[in-house]
C-alpha cells in the first residue's frame, strides 16, 4: 500500500506537470512514431459490403503494438521517482518488449516476468527482450500464463519496493494503475477522434477493440465516452467457445470478484478460486479485466461480444488477403467481430477498429493452428 500511495502521489503531480507532458508527447512523436494513421480500409469495406471501416494503425507503432504508449509514460514517471529498476509482467510479450525497449532507451535495469507457457508460444518476443538487455524471469507457478507472471511481479515488487518500479501493462491491477494506463493509452482515442473528424466531418458510429485486460480498448474508447452516439464494442476471447469453459472472456463469462487489487469481473469457480483461461492470443489470456471497463459495461456504455480462436485465425487470413495487413492475434478478435457486424450495417455507417498490434510475433502460433510447419 505505501508503494501505491507513493505512486499515486507521483502520478498526480506528473499529470499536471507541463514538462512531464511535453516530454511524454515528444517521446510519443519522436520515439514511438506517433501519430499512427487512421486508415480507411477500402477493400475490407467493399468485401464486407456494409459499414465503412477504418483501422487505427497501432500496429505501426515502434515495437509493433500500442503497448509502447503506456511504457513511455510510465518509464518517464519511474525516472522522475528516482527508481533504478523496472519490472513488468507480460503475456504475448508485447508489453515485455515495450518495457524492455524503454528501459534500454532510458538506461534502466529491467526484468520481465513471463509465464512458462507464454515463453514457449512467444519465443520470438522472448528473444527480442533478451536482445534489448532485459533479464527474463520464467514463471512456473499456476497456469504459467499472464496472471501468474503478474503474481510473481507483485511478489518481486513488494520485496524490492524501495528501488523498483512495477510497470503494469494493462488497465488492471491496483489503483492508480488502471487510471494511469488508461490516461497514457488515451492518445489512441484522441488521435482517432481528430483524424476521423477530419476525414468524415463527424464522429464514428462504432468503435471496436479487443479486450484482455483492456488497455487498447480503454485507450480508444475513453476520449469518446461522453459522445453518447458513438457505440463501443469490446471483443473478448472466446477461445474454444464460451460454453467449453476454455476461454478468457471475463465480462461475458465471469462474476464480480477481486483480483490483483481491483474489483471487476473475474473468471472464477464456485469457490472463488481464479480459473485458468484459454485463448490462442496470449495477450488476451487473463482471467480479469480492467475495473473501468466493467463499470462501463454495467452502465451500458460499452457492449461486449466475443470471438473464438478459429474466428481470430480467419480474421488474420482475411485482413492479410484483402488489405495486406497482418494483425496480431489479439487485434484479429476485433477484426472478427467487425466481419460479423459490418455486413449488417448500412453503407453510411462507420466503424473504427483498433488494430492494436501487428502479427509477426504470432506466425508460429498461426502456422501451428493451420498445420503448417515453419
Partner 1 sequence: MSCIARKLAELQKRGEAALIPFVTAGDPNLATTLKILRALEKGGADCIELGIPFSDPTADGPTIQRSSERALKNGLSLPRIFQLVRQFRRTSEVPIVLFGYFNPIFHYGLENFCRAAARAGADGILCVDLPPEESAELKRWTDTEGLDLIFLLSPTSGPDRVQLVAGKGRGFIYYVSVTGVTGARQALDDQLRSQVARVRRATSLPVGVGFGISTPKQAAWIAGFADAAVVGSALVERIEKAKGGAEKARCAGAFVSELKRAMKQVAKKS
Residues that bind partner 1 (CB under 8 A): 1-3, 141-142, 147-148, 151, 154-155, 158-162, 255, 257-261, 266, 268, 271-274
Region of 170 (left: φ > 0; alpha: ψ -120 to 50; beta: rest) is: beta
In the bound state with partner 1, the residue whose beta carbon lies nearer, of 131 and 258, is 258
**In the complex, least distance from residue 242 CB atom to partner 1, rounded to whole angstroms:** 21
Per the annotation, the verdict on 306 as an active-site residue is no
CB of 35 to partner 1, least distance (A): 38
Among residues 127 and 295, whose Cβ is nearest to partner 1? 295
Shortest distance, CB of residue 141 to partner 1, whole angstroms? Answer: 6
356 a catalytic residue: yes
User: Over the range 144-157, which residues count as b (16 or more CB within 10 Å of their CB) and which as e?
Assistant: bbbbbbbbbbbebe
Q: Between 162 and 226, whose beta carbon lies closer to partner 1?
A: 162
We find the least distance from the C-beta atom of residue 188 to partner 1, in angstroms, to be 30
Question: Which CB sits closer to partner 1, 162 or 198?
Answer: 162
Catalytic residue selected from 52, 67, 83, 147? 67
246 is catalytic: no
Compute φ and ψ for 309, nearest 5 degrees: -55, -50
Would strands 231-239 and 350-355 be described as parallel, antiparallel, or unpaired? unpaired
Between 150 and 326, name the residue whose CB sits nearer to partner 1: 150
Distance CA 5, CA 329 (A): 36
The 302-308 sheet, strands edge to edge? 38-40, 52-57, 350-355, 206-211, 231-239, 302-308
Q: How far is the CB of 152 from partner 1 (least distance, A)?
A: 9
**Coil vs helix vs strand at 138:** strand
Angle formed by the axes of helices 187-200 and 177-185, nearest 10°: 30
- Strand locations in the chain, DSSP E? 38-40, 52-57, 85-90, 109-115, 135-139, 164-166, 206-211, 231-239, 255-259, 262-266, 302-308, 350-355
Q: Which of 52, 83, 89, 262 is catalytic?
A: 89
**Which amino acids are annotated catalytic?**
67, 89, 356
Amino acid at each position: 500500500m505505501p508503494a501505491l500511495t507513493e505512486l499515486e502521489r507521483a502520478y498526480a503531480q506528473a499529470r499536471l506537470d507541463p514538462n512531464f507532458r511535453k516530454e511524454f508527447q515528444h517521446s510519443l512523436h519522436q520515439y514511438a512514431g506517433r501519430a499512427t494513421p487512421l486508415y480507411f480500409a477500402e477493400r475490407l469495406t467493399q468485401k464486407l459490403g456494409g459499414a465503412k471501416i477504418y483501422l487505427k494503425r497501432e500496429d505501426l507503432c515502434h515495437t509493433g503494438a500500442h503497448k509502447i504508449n503506456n511504457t513511455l509514460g510510465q518509464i518517464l514517471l519511474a525516472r522522475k521517482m528516482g527508481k533504478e529498476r523496472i519490472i513488468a509482467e507480460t503475456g504475448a510479450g508485447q508489453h515485455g518488449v515495450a518495457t524492455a525497449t524503454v528501459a534500454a532507451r532510458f538506461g534502466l535495469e529491467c526484468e520481465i516476468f513471463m509465464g512458462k507457457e507464454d515463453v514457449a508460444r512467444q519465443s520470438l518476443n522472448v528473444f527480442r527482450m533478451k536482445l534489448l538487455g532485459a533479464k527474463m524471469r520464467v514463471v512456473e507457478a499456476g497456469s504459467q500464463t499472464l496472471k501468474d507472471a503478474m503474481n510473481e511481479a507483485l511478489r518481486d515488487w513488494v520485496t524490492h519496493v524501495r528501488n523498483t518500479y512495477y510497470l503494469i501493462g494493462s488497465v488492471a491491477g491496483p489503483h492508480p494503475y488502471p487510471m494511469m494506463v488508461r490516461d497514457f493509452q488515451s492518445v489512441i482515442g484522441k488521435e482517432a477522434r481528430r483524424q476521423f473528424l477530419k476525414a468524415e466531418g463527424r464522429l464514428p458510429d462504432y468503435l471496436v477493440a479487443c479486450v484482455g485486460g483492456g488497455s487498447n480498448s480503454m485507450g480508444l474508447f475513453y476520449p469518446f465516452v461522453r459522445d453518447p452516439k458513438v457505440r463501443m464494442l469490446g471483443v473478448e476471447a472466446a477461445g474454444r467457445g464460451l460454453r467449453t469453459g476454455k476461454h478468457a472472456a471475463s465480462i461475458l463469462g465471469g462474476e464480480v470478484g477481486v483480483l490483483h487489487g481491483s474489483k471487476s469481473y473475474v473468471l472464477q469457480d464456485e469457490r472463488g478460486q481464479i480459473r485458468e483461461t484459454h485463448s490462442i492470443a496470449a495477450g488476451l489470456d487473463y482471467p480479469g479485466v480492467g475495473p473501468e471497463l466493467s463499470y462501463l459495461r454495467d452502465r451500458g456504455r460499452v457492449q461486449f461480444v466475443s470471438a473464438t480462436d478459429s474466428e481470430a485465425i480467419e480474421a488474420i487470413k482475411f485482413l492479410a488477403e484483402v488489405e495486406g495487413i497482418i494483425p496480431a492475434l489479439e487485434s484479429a478478435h476485433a477484426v472478427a467481430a467487425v466481419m460479423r457486424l459490418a455486413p449488417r450495417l448500412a453503407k453510411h455507417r462507420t466503424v473504427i477498429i483498433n488494430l492494436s498490434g501487428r502479427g509477426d510475433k504470432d506466425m508460429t502460433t498461426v502456422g501451428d493452428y493451420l498445420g503448417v510447419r515453419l
